[in-house]
Chains A and B, each alone.
Chain A
């Protein structure tokens, strides 16, 4: 499917995690380079120009957040955060600082590969395709037309913005803050209740029996994600 081998940089201090990731990623036809510490990670990100970075937040030398912000100063490379616990409090700040996604340990290797592929596809392609399709959902950006199973769904302006925001970032988790900011503007970022009531309304309109709870998924304590239904089976 892919023309050239993508390079993945793994920044994690646990040798066992590094070696299992190497096995998983190489068996998925990806090239793997490794860094044990944060500083080493930043250097390798600069010298090797990887296509995607797997970053553990708990590093021995410098904080994962520092690594993240340093890389973000000069690169838009896709960064996936690895964290030990669900609902860990520093996931949201990391996402707001520019991380693209997160995974909690222990993770399923199939899910990891699916996420990586989704992100690689997203970065690989230009986002100006006029028609977006995911599962039974289709969005025609030019006509501003949304259909589910071919049937048109009437959305309000804001509902449409939320849906397209999620669609443009398909496979990627969006924090509440990011969503509120891009749809309502910066002054609304502290009103998560608003967004949540809103998403509930939106779901009612676009969800059918076959895609119940699968087009817009809640990431507890973080935000929402539209899963890439093509790559995640």
Chain B
């Protein structure tokens, strides 16, 4: 019986299938004509298909075709639309290149772009033409192109070995993997040679040279085999993929995972290609790992490492870099963490001086269940215990001076007591001195110099016969040897300890910096804060100028840099950033997209959304080295996370506003409908009563009621309009210089006109109450507060309004003689729609909340408390920002 579980497709697999078929719909289709070398007729086949497509009604255009003046081929271009090429001037000459912008603008359904491996002239968007093609595909344009087997990254080395010629123009294997269709254009080597000699490929002169070098029959046969094998492998994969898709057979992935350990050396390139080939045969994913050790990389090594990692990435590897003094442990740790089943390493040539085992030996020994492939090479030159003795003046000359001085001083002093203690004991004094040296941080060089010097001095001045270097005693010979051994061992140890210290310190610095950045970012309160901290951190830790461009609401990249930016991209640079933004890719300096830029532009993005671009401007001096780049990447990750957090926060805030306005609506319908209906009822009832002639003696009372109801409705509408303005966050204040005393008086007058019977007492202790404020808003606030007081006052109760001024603030105190506030309502009286328990009928609970909003828009403050002995007391405070001096007009 078959276990049902085994038939269940892996969810990841299904997801991948869905994603693939989705992207198949939006992305353009790529067809590659694949041949063993030039002259097999790829371009011809390509044009033939283009004609077919055109006659089928597909919008077809030629983007770039190199006919090499071959007549047959040239004939084939007739009748197809050709997009004009772009002319670029470079070093005085004019070059014609494929014009990607023109093609994107023209947007045919199918475009022909020959020779994917071509290297573009500097000044083009991408360094390589295949990158142009990828962009076309991303924009939904189908592409026909041609590639020779020698152009394939993973085969370049092999082709070089076969033909002996260096291959410069390559395309990454991932490009071939991207192809929806591959057509092999195949002719036999004999046929090709025939065509060559007929002059169909090159001019007779060129042909002769070609046949002598590249186009040897042996070469051609080998290349042809490569083409056919590669295609067969692919067909095999396609078949399996198809089966997997259709669920015909249980061909789920083996779960194999390869890991290749690489270093900065050129041999790693071969290791990477080897692993790629293995991974593609095994259908396994693969990781390329670099272990950063204690030894800092030299400049050329750094470049080599970057090149190696780039290649691995191009060939589809996942890149992991880690640190660790013990390479073996680090490799195994990463392997286990990533469920690696096979490790690929290069063969070590050198063995350790003190331990007979190479790193590879140790790896094999400790790898346990993981298989280890050892591929010829010298990647793991040990850098451990046996130190290379180099007299680099890495330590300062001063150290050498002190080392020599201390030896000489010891010698002089010892010479005085030589007679008393005997010459042999003196050797111990020297030895003691040398063993002390590492402790006081002497470098390797000075220690060795000191030990040689001590040995010579001891020999020359102390060992009898003195003033000769002759030694008769075996004892003494042994002692001399001992000098050297101790010197070398302590020198080595110091160097190691120091290196470790440096290593630990730089890690500590990085961790610390990362911690500080993360802390800063997590404490940031808004996007502006995040931007400030991000830019400052980049400046502080990398000495890099940065610019931040965020996404606009419309989804486009903002044309202006965030104000925190330390450099502003030029228009041209902005387009480069925008390109990266649109394509979700890094662009500019050190990338494959528009590398002529002054800065590197990195998308700030999460898995789904792009939030902007961070631009980093660095010169050759402060270009981040490899270690810094890893660090930089994690910093960018933190920044992206923080930016995303802020965007999500804003989103959450917006939905909160929506929720609140929904609440507003609800309250409107529940309670305000009552508020609206009451005055309307009054007006309608009153006016119909007026129509009845009998009630004429009451008419003035009835008219009073209509007027009251009308002003109540008006007040309600004003309140709702004000609240909406506050809620929408679009409250704009028109601040003007006005007299506070006037606005207070005017508010009191207004409330008095609302048929309020209270007596008002207005005290103003200052004649200078000029202050910059929005008259209408402050008047409205005061009306609301004073009206509120009058509502809760007994009829005969007074309302006191006191305006006073101190050097720093204006204070308006409004008091009534009503019941005051209940303790529990005191905290809520400024809340929207809050109505104190037992409040009089009428009122919306908006007045005080609006007053508070308006006052706060003037940097003011309103507070409420109970008045002693009874009543409510409101206090409004405005800070005085500027004192207005009287104007002298008598010029």
Q: A192-B737, A221-B736 given as contacts; is B779 within 8 A of A157 (CB)?
A: no
Is B889 touching A203 in the complex (CB atoms < 8 A)?
Answer: no
Chain A positions 214-233 with a Cβ under 8 Å from a chain B Cβ: 218, 220-221
Whether, in the assembled complex, A193 has its beta carbon less than 8 Å from a beta carbon of chain B, the answer is yes
Is B776 touching A200 in the complex (CB atoms < 8 A)?
Answer: no
Residues of A within 8 A of B886 (CB): 197, 201
Whether, in the assembled complex, A36 has its beta carbon less than 8 Å from a beta carbon of chain B, the answer is no
Whether, in the assembled complex, A125 has its beta carbon less than 8 Å from a beta carbon of chain B, the answer is no
Whether, in the assembled complex, B696 has its beta carbon less than 8 Å from a beta carbon of chain A, the answer is no
Assembly CA distance A48 to B816 (angstroms): 55
Q: A157-B889, A197-B884, A203-B739 given as contacts; is B734 within 8 A of A106 (CB)?
A: no
Assembly CA distance A203 to B742 (angstroms): 10
Residues of B within 8 A of A187 (CB): none
Residues of A within 8 A of B739 (CB): 200, 203, 218
Assembly CA distance A194 to B714 (angstroms): 35
Whether, in the assembled complex, A6 has its beta carbon less than 8 Å from a beta carbon of chain B, the answer is no
User: What is the chain A residue whose CB lies nearest that of B770?
Assistant: A200
Assembly CA distance A192 to B776 (angstroms): 17
Contact with B along A174-204 (1 / 0, CB 8 A): 0000000000000000001110111011011
| B889 in complex: contacting residue of A87, A198, A200, A220, CB < 8 Å | A198
User: What is the chain A residue whose CB lies nearest that of B741?
Assistant: A213
How far does the Cβ of B555 sit from chain A's closest Cβ, in whole Å?
32
Is B714 touching A106 in the complex (CB atoms < 8 A)?
Answer: yes
Is B779 touching A156 in the complex (CB atoms < 8 A)?
Answer: no
Is A212 touching B889 in the complex (CB atoms < 8 A)?
Answer: no
Q: A106-B714, A200-B770, A204-B767 given as contacts; is B775 within 8 A of A218 (CB)?
A: yes
Contact with B along A79-103 (1 / 0, CB 8 A): 0000000110000000000000000
Whether, in the assembled complex, B746 has its beta carbon less than 8 Å from a beta carbon of chain A, the answer is yes
Assembly CA distance A220 to B774 (angstroms): 8
How far does the Cβ of A190 sit from chain B's closest Cβ, in whole Å?
13
Residues of B within 8 A of A165 (CB): none
How far does the Cβ of A205 sit from chain B's closest Cβ, in whole Å?
11
Is A86 touching B776 in the complex (CB atoms < 8 A)?
Answer: yes
Consensus secondary structure, chain B interface: mixed
Assembly CA distance A159 to B887 (angstroms): 11
How far does the Cβ of B659 sit from chain A's closest Cβ, in whole Å?
29
How far does the Cβ of A93 sit from chain B's closest Cβ, in whole Å?
14
Whether, in the assembled complex, A154 has its beta carbon less than 8 Å from a beta carbon of chain B, the answer is no
Chain B positions 762-781 with a Cβ under 8 Å from a chain A Cβ: 767-768, 770, 774-776, 779
Whether, in the assembled complex, B606 has its beta carbon less than 8 Å from a beta carbon of chain A, the answer is no
Chain B positions 27-83 with a Cβ under 8 Å from a chain A Cβ: none
Assembly CA distance A200 to B770 (angstroms): 8
Is A213 touching B746 in the complex (CB atoms < 8 A)?
Answer: yes
Is B775 touching A221 in the complex (CB atoms < 8 A)?
Answer: yes
User: What is the chain B residue whose CB lies nearest that of A176?
Assistant: B736
Residues of A within 8 A of B767 (CB): 204
How far does the Cβ of B570 sit from chain A's closest Cβ, in whole Å?
36
Is A196 touching B776 in the complex (CB atoms < 8 A)?
Answer: no
Whether, in the assembled complex, A158 has its beta carbon less than 8 Å from a beta carbon of chain B, the answer is yes
Assembly CA distance A193 to B770 (angstroms): 10
Assembly CA distance A203 to B770 (angstroms): 12
Whether, in the assembled complex, B390 has its beta carbon less than 8 Å from a beta carbon of chain A, the answer is no
Contact with A along B533-550 (1 / 0, CB 8 A): 000000000000000000
Residues of B within 8 A of A193 (CB): 737, 884
Whether, in the assembled complex, B266 has its beta carbon less than 8 Å from a beta carbon of chain A, the answer is no
| B745 in complex: contacting residue of A159, A198, A213, CB < 8 Å | A213
Is A156 touching B737 in the complex (CB atoms < 8 A)?
Answer: no
Is B890 touching A196 in the complex (CB atoms < 8 A)?
Answer: no
Chain B positions 758-799 with a Cβ under 8 Å from a chain A Cβ: 767-768, 770, 774-776, 779
Is A158 touching B884 in the complex (CB atoms < 8 A)?
Answer: no
Q: A156-B890, A197-B770, A204-B767 given as contacts; is B738 within 8 A of A212 (CB)?
A: no
Whether, in the assembled complex, B710 has its beta carbon less than 8 Å from a beta carbon of chain A, the answer is yes
Residues of B within 8 A of A87 (CB): 734, 776
Residues of A within 8 A of B710 (CB): 106
Counting chain B CB atoms within 10 Å of each CB, the highest count among A159, A192, A218 belongs to A218
Q: A198-B887, A212-B745 given as contacts; is B776 within 8 A of A220 (CB)?
A: yes
Assembly CA distance A224 to B42 (angstroms): 87
User: What is the chain A residue whose CB lies nearest that of B742?
Assistant: A213
Is B889 touching A158 in the complex (CB atoms < 8 A)?
Answer: yes
User: What is the chain A residue whose CB lies nearest that of B744?
Assistant: A213
Residues of B within 8 A of A106 (CB): 710, 714
Assembly CA distance A22 to B714 (angstroms): 22
Residues of A within 8 A of B743 (CB): 218
Assembly CA distance A220 to B889 (angstroms): 24
Residues of B within 8 A of A200 (CB): 739, 768, 770, 884
How far does the Cβ of B281 sit from chain A's closest Cβ, in whole Å?
75
User: What is the chain B residue whose CB lies nearest that of A158?
Assistant: B889
Q: A157-B890, A213-B745, A218-B738 given as contacts; is B779 within 8 A of A196 (CB)?
A: no
Residues of A within 8 A of B775 (CB): 218, 220-221
Assembly CA distance A158 to B710 (angstroms): 44
How far does the Cβ of B731 sit from chain A's closest Cβ, in whole Å?
12
Assembly CA distance A192 to B738 (angstroms): 11
Assembly CA distance A198 to B710 (angstroms): 38
User: What is the chain A residue whose CB lies nearest that of B780?
Assistant: A86
| B737 in complex: contacting residue of A197, A203, A213, CB < 8 Å | A197
Contact with A along B723-767 (1 / 0, CB 8 A): 000000000001011110111011000000000000000000001
Residues of A within 8 A of B774 (CB): 220
Residues of A within 8 A of B737 (CB): 192-193, 196-197
Assembly CA distance A200 to B740 (angstroms): 11
Is B746 touching A201 in the complex (CB atoms < 8 A)?
Answer: no
Residues of A within 8 A of B741 (CB): 213
Assembly CA distance A197 to B772 (angstroms): 11
Assembly CA distance A200 to B742 (angstroms): 10
Assembly CA distance A213 to B764 (angstroms): 13
Assembly CA distance A87 to B776 (angstroms): 8
Assembly CA distance A194 to B884 (angstroms): 10
| B887 in complex: contacting residue of A157, A197, A212, A218, CB < 8 Å | A197
| A194 in complex: contacting residue of B742, B745, B779, B887, CB < 8 Å | B887
How far does the Cβ of A95 sit from chain B's closest Cβ, in whole Å?
16
User: What is the chain B residue whose CB lies nearest that of A216?
Assistant: B742
How far does the Cβ of B11 sit from chain A's closest Cβ, in whole Å?
60
User: What is the chain B residue whose CB lies nearest that of A198?
Assistant: B887
Q: A197-B886, A213-B742 given as contacts; is B779 within 8 A of A220 (CB)?
A: yes
Counting chain B CB atoms within 10 Å of each CB, the highest count among A193, A200, A212, A213 belongs to A200
How far does the Cβ of A125 sit from chain B's closest Cβ, in whole Å?
30
User: What is the chain A residue whose CB lies nearest that of B764?
Assistant: A212
How far does the Cβ of B310 sit from chain A's closest Cβ, in whole Å?
60
User: What is the chain A residue whose CB lies nearest that of B885?
Assistant: A197
Residues of B within 8 A of A157 (CB): 889-890
Residues of B within 8 A of A212 (CB): 745
| A218 in complex: contacting residue of B714, B742, B885, B889, CB < 8 Å | B742
Q: A106-B710, A200-B770, A213-B742 given as contacts; is B736 within 8 A of A192 (CB)?
A: yes
How far does the Cβ of B723 sit from chain A's closest Cβ, in whole Å?
15
Assembly CA distance A198 to B774 (angstroms): 18
Residues of B within 8 A of A159 (CB): 889
How far does the Cβ of A161 sit from chain B's closest Cβ, in whole Å?
9
Assembly CA distance A193 to B884 (angstroms): 9
Residues of A within 8 A of B742 (CB): 213, 218
Counting chain B CB atoms within 10 Å of each CB, the highest count among A157, A192, A193, A220 belongs to A220
Can you list 22 contacts pairing A with B, beta carbon distance less than 8 Å? A106-B710, A106-B714, A156-B889, A157-B890, A158-B889, A158-B890, A192-B736, A192-B737, A193-B884, A196-B736, A197-B884, A197-B887, A200-B768, A201-B886, A201-B887, A204-B767, A213-B745, A218-B742, A218-B743, A220-B774, A221-B736, A221-B775
Given A193-B884, A221-B776, 5 further pairs, Cβ under 8 A: A158-B889, A197-B770, A198-B889, A218-B746, A220-B775
Chain A residues in the interface with B (C-beta under 8 A): 86-87, 106, 156-159, 192-194, 196-198, 200-201, 203-204, 212-213, 218, 220-221
Query: Which 4 pairs, one residue from A and one from B, show the smallest C-beta to C-beta distance?
Result: A220-B775, A158-B889, A196-B737, A213-B745
